[in-house]
Amino acid sequence: MQSLINRALEGFLRDSYGDEIWGDIALKAAIDPLAFISSNRPRSRETRRVAQCASRRLHKPLSELLEDLGGWLVRLEPIRRLLRFSGSDYGEFVLSLNELHGRAKMILPALNIPAIRVLRQGHGWYRIDTESLPAGWGHVLSGALRGMADDYGALALIGHEAGGIDLRIALIDHGSNRPFHLSYAWPRAIGT
């Protein structure tokens, strides 16, 4: 799991800011930039150190950087397609997050994704419990929710605070959603 997190963080930083910035962040974090994703025993403290160094180097609050990471992840076509199968509209998608843990376990049993609990508060209003998530994951989830709202063409007001995310769907058809087709020509590899 930690290797996947490292790969996502490195991919996001390289795609968004370039190889030179990535190299500078890796140097400041005292890690080998070539071994960060391929380490036999990746450590979460190295991941935190890289994220903190990136935050300082980019002059961005860590929470904002992690939200950007979440938005970047859902723009990757294989991930986007997988998530779009979770609901015909944005509200259904949000409620389907309750099932994400079980679905991920079926596909990759070793992938230990924490359970996400979504509570429906009213029509178009949801509370997503993030207390059980590792530190920073709530911000990544907020960014992913923003990205998927755009993808579905919905206007969602998303607020992240300690312990949870408040999400209100203001307009279902705010803008045109991105086209979604069942057939797709898969790229050779993510990030190539």
DSSP-assigned states of every residue in the chain: -HHHHHHHHHHHHHHHH-HHHHHHHHHHTT--TTTTTT-SS--HHHHHHHHHHHHHHTT--HHHHHHHHHHHHHHSHHHHHHHHTT-SSHHHHHHHGGGHHHHHHHH-TT--PPP-EEEEEETTEEEEE-TTSPTTHHHHHHHHHHHHHHHHT-EEEEEEETTEEEEEEEETTSSPPPP--S-----SSTT-
pLDDT at 158 > cutoff 60: yes
Boundaries of domain holding 17? 2-60
Q: Domain for residue 16, yes or no?
A: yes
Q: Domain for residue 69, yes or no?
A: no
Q: Domain for residue 128, yes or no?
A: yes
d(CA 172, CA 149): 9
Q: Which of 33, 60, 87 is the last residue of a domain?
A: 60
Q: Domain for residue 179, yes or no?
A: no
Mean pLDDT score of the chain, rounded to an integer?
86
In Å, how far from its chain's centre is CA 150?
14
**Contact predicate 41/1, CB 8 Å:** no
Res 174: pLDDT: 46
Going across the sheet that includes 117-122, the strands are 117-122, 125-129, 164-171, 155-161
Question: The domain that contains 124 carries what CATH number?
Answer: 3.90.1520.10
Residues 98 and 159 in one domain: yes
CA distances from 49 to 6, 33, 72 (A): 11, 13, 20
Residues 55 and 96 in one domain: no
How many domains is the chain partitioned into structurally?
2
d(CA 139, CA 135): 9
**Contact predicate 36/48, CB 8 Å:** no
What share of the chain has pLDDT > 90, as a percent?
56
74-130: per-residue pLDDT in tens? 999 988 988 888 889 999 999 999 998 888 888 778 777 888 999 999 999 999 998
Residues 51 and 98 in one domain: no
Residues 166 and 78 in one domain: yes
pLDDT at 192 > cutoff 60: no
Q: Per mean pLDDT, which range of 4-8, 27-31, 66-70, 188-192 is the poorest?
A: 188-192
Q: What's the pTM value of the predicted model, to 2 decimals?
A: 0.84
Q: Per mean pLDDT, which range of 1-5, 44-48, 51-55, 164-168 is the poorest?
A: 1-5
Residues 97 and 16 in one domain: no
What share of the chain has pLDDT > 70, as a percent?
85
Q: Domain for residue 181, yes or no?
A: no
In 10 A of CB 61, how many CB atoms? 11
Q: Domain for residue 66, yes or no?
A: no
Residues 161 and 120 in one domain: yes
Residues 98 and 121 in one domain: yes
Residues 89 and 147 in one domain: yes
